Chains A and B, each alone.
Chain A
Amino acid sequence: DAGVTQSPTHLIKTRGQQVTLRCSPISGHKSVSWYQQVLGQGPQFIFQYYEKEERGRGNFPDRFSARQFPNYSSELNVNALLLGDSALYLCASSPGQSNQPQHFGDGTRLSIL
């Protein structure tokens, strides 16, 4: 079975631009979460969606937004990119029930010039 897939794998943008990252969850998983990992740190929670509704939001500015589609795939949008947005963006999916671990994709490496 396919795992969590993310696209693109790498992306280079300049300051002020906008970016959209995509995630397809494991088949049957209804919950998708987004995390940002900067060098030397652990992943930091950005959003969680379940059944197309936002379930949780981390401490990120309004430049960050996301949505989940009827097929449970998800997009993360970041506007007005800053140099500090350079990071690995990870998507994780889970079935949606309690105590089922989140499974991660390989991430999108975003570089801001």
Chain B
Amino acid sequence: DQQVKQNSPSLSVQEGRISILNCDYTNSMFDYFLWYKKYPAEGPTFLISISSIKDKNEDGRFTVFLNKSAKHLSLHIVPSQPGDSAVYFCAASGSGGSNYKLTFGKGTLLTVNP
């Protein structure tokens, strides 16, 4: 039973446009959410996180939105750049914050075309 779902295996956008990556979760005990980016042959790199007490967190070109009632979060990248092309993983953790075990989605492959 997948508790974190990324229903879009891939997404293609033009350079300079907005990229929106989506993530849904089923476990209401999750209280901390993170996005990681992964290039081939490298480990996941932390991008941005959000606590369940917030509905938005912004860091430069990256913004994460959380809709607790819908159990849905999204990552917005504006403007998208070719270097953003990678696999993006949504992850969630329960009580104890991000130090506790992370439950990951299957990932979304983002391709940003020049």
Contacts and interface: CB of A to CB of B under 8 A. Distances in A.
**Genuine A/B complex:** yes
Interface of A: 4, 31, 33, 35, 40-45, 48, 50, 55-56, 58, 90, 92, 94, 96-107
A46 to B, nearest CB: 9
Nearest to A98: B97
A42 B43 contact: no
Given A94-B98, A99-B98, A40 B43 contact: no
Nearest to B43: A104
B101 interface: yes
B104 A100 contact: no
A43 B99 contact: no
Closest 10 CB pairs of A and B: A42-B104, A98-B97, A104-B43, A45-B101, A99-B97, A101-B46, A106-B43, A104-B44, A56-B101, A43-B104
A36 B42 CA distance: 14
Contacts of B42: 106
Nearest to A43: B104
Contact of B100 (A41, A56, A101, A105): A56
Contacts of A45: 101-103
Give the interface centre of B42, B43, B89, B102 by most chain A CB atoms within 10 Å. Answer: B43
Contact of B105 (A35, A42, A58, A102): A42
Contacts of A98: 96-99
Contacts of B51: 99
7 contacts: A35-B104, A44-B104, A90-B44, A92-B43, A94-B99, A98-B99, A101-B46
Contacts of A101: 34, 46, 49, 98
Contacts of B102: 33, 35, 43, 45, 92, 102
B100 A42 contact: no
Contacts of A96: 99
Interface in B84-106: 89, 91, 96-106
A43 B107 CA distance: 10
